[in-house]
Structure 1
Amino acid sequence: MAKAAVIILAGTESHADLGRIVNGLETAKEFAETEGDDVELIFDGAGTQWVPKLEDEDHDYHDLYQSVRDDMAVCDYCAGAFGVGDAVDEAGAVRLDENEGHPSIRDLVDDDYEIITF
């Protein structure tokens, strides 16, 4: 049994960022589909900007996003800072704010999650 926290930090500015989000979603999907594994998918920092883009049914990776959406959470502070708070709420995403408005990476490490960033 593996425990992984896949953290999406990549913004939406470049082709490289698109590659990082796709790789992050594919990684989260692999853990989600493996029986006995536990995965947390966290959009943090500039990565929060992906939520409204991936919610769009016309986005090329909408279906991949939908396949891991149930395991998703978003940094509360960063959703506001990057102007996507309303879209995050409309998506029904859990907002994490355990560490001064941000997700607690320390708590994930303490709970034996491997931290993987994209």
Structure 2
Amino acid sequence: MTKAAIIILAGTDGHDNLGRIVNGLEAAKEFAENDEDELELIFDGAGTTWIPELEDEDHDYHDLYQAVSDDAAVCDYCSGAFGVEDAVGDAGLVTLDDHDGHPSVRSLVADGYEVITF
């Protein structure tokens, strides 16, 4: 069994960040498709700004996002800081505030997850 925590940090600005989100979602999908793997997909920092974009059914990567959104969570603090808390709430995504309002990376490591950032 493989345990992977994929953390999306790239924001929505620029072509390079589009590549990061697509690569991150593809990696998440690969883990999600294997029933023996455990996946944590976390949108953190500027990565939280992808939520309203990817929730839009007309977005080019909406279907890819939907394939892994059941495994997704969002940094509570950052969703507020980047002004997307309403979109996160509307999407029904879990928010994480384990460490000073942010997800706990240490807990992921302690639980045996390989942490991969995009």
Query: Which TM-score band (shorter chain)?
Result: over 0.9
Shift of 1:35: 2.0
TM-fit CA distance, 1:15: 0.3
Matched with 1:78 is 78
Q: Number of residue pairs matched? A: 118
Deviations 1:41-66 (A, max 9, x none): 00000000000000000000000000
CA RMSD of aligned residues (A): 0.3
Q: Distance in 1 between matches of 2:18 and 2:10?
A: 8
Instruction: Provide structure 2 residue ranges, at least 5 long, that are not aligned to the other structure.
Output: none
Structure 1 residue ranges (4+ consecutive) displaced by more than 2 angstroms after TM superposition: none
**Which residue is equivalent to 1:114?**
114
- 1:16-95 matched pairs, under 5 angstroms: 16-95=16-95
Question: 1:90 is aligned with what amino acid?
Answer: D
Partner of residue 11, structure 2? 11
Percent identical among aligned pairs is: 73
Q: 1:44 & 1:21 partners in 2: Cα distance?
A: 12
The one-letter code sitting in structure 2 at the alignment partner of 1:94 is: V
